[in-house]
Amino acid sequence: MANHANAISKVKILVVGDSGVGKTSLVHLICHGTALSNSSWTIGCSVEVRIHEYREGTPSQRQYFVELWDVGGNNSHKNARHVFYNQVHGIILVHDMTNRKSQLNLRQWLSEILLREGGGPRSRLPLIDGFDAEQFGGFSQLPVFVVGTKQDQIAEMRTNIRVRSSSIADECAADEIYVNTHDHRSLAPGSSNAVKLSRFFDKVIERQQTTTSRTELGGVSYMEKEQSMFRRSKSGSSFINMN
């Protein structure tokens, strides 16, 4: 009983966006605080964990494991990806600031997750072209966070691109940050980016707390099924190969 009370709870966050936007680099920066020296193609999905201090600096401060599920953006995995969409507590949408299409595609990514979250018959629904905030009202409590990467390249291009928050961020009332995943200062402790990210993790944990009772009633733990499919890598990350 005492062990149970001391156990660190965990939350599951999906990290999605088009291939090459910088998801793997971002997850590495969030979990290790350093830039990833050479990122390789993500096959299937990889999971990294960050220890987060929930409500840091308050009497209710508590440690949580935040699992970041880096879902490969390759289109050939489209039909298999939904297995990762169960029991999700939050979503990080990633786009490349130099690639407007990747920003527009976030709508598609969100609708893919929201339609398939929970699996079951809904998982066989066809993808819809757009995301309609009204239509997904029931799911909109799922906290969303938007990250624009390659901010350094925008600066190098010396263009007059006006950095506007993504419309999807506005629609979901989500915070959005811009980073250079090659520079650890992008998420330096105490920076506005780090504070926003930490606030997002808090929101995700609150969401998990409100859904825990529902999940327990549900019986089958998809998490357990998913975990049994994993093998541990040397780095401590988990990979599943869907090829």
Ligand X SMILES: Nc1nc2c(ncn2[C@@H]2O[C@H](COP(=O)(O)OP(=O)(O)O)[C@@H](O)[C@H]2O)c(=O)[nH]1
Residues that bind ligand X (CB under 6 A): 19-25, 39, 42, 73, 149-150, 152-153, 179-182
Choice between 96 and 205, CB closer to ligand X:
96
Nearest residue to ligand X by CB is 22
Choice between 17 and 90, CB closer to Mg ion:
17
Contacts 24+ apart (CB under 8 A), 208-214: 208/9, 208/11, 208/89, 210/141, 211/89
Sheet order of strands, 175-178 included:
175-178, 144-149, 90-96, 9-16, 62-71, 45-54, 238-240, 231-232
For the CB of residue 121, give the shortest distance to ligand X in the complex, in Å: 30
Number of Cβ within 10 Å of residue 114's Cβ equals: 22
For the CB of residue 193, give the shortest distance to ligand X in the complex, in Å: 12
31 contact partners, CB below 8 Å, separation of at least 6: 48, 49, 50, 68
**What is the DSSP secondary-structure string of 16-33?**
E-STTSSHHHHHHHHHHS
Looking at residue 127, the DSSP 8-state letter turns out to be P
Residue numbers 60-99 binding Mg ion by CB under 5 A: none
Q: Which window, 42-50, 77-85, 158-166, 212-220, contacts Mg ion (CB under 5 A)?
A: 42-50
Choice between 23 and 107, CB closer to Mg ion:
23
> Of the candidates 18, 42, 77, 172, which one interacts with Mg ion according to CB under 5 A?
42
For the CB of residue 135, give the shortest distance to ligand X in the complex, in Å: 27
Choice between 107 and 150, CB closer to ligand X:
150
Does 24 sit near Mg ion (CB under 5 A)? yes
Residue 16 phi/psi, 5° resolution? -130, 165
For the CB of residue 22, give the shortest distance to Mg ion in the complex, in Å: 8
Using an 8 Å Cβ cutoff, are 174 and 180 in contact?
no
Choice between 208 and 237, CB closer to Mg ion:
237
Footprint on this chain of Mg ion (rule: CB under 5 A)? 23-24, 42
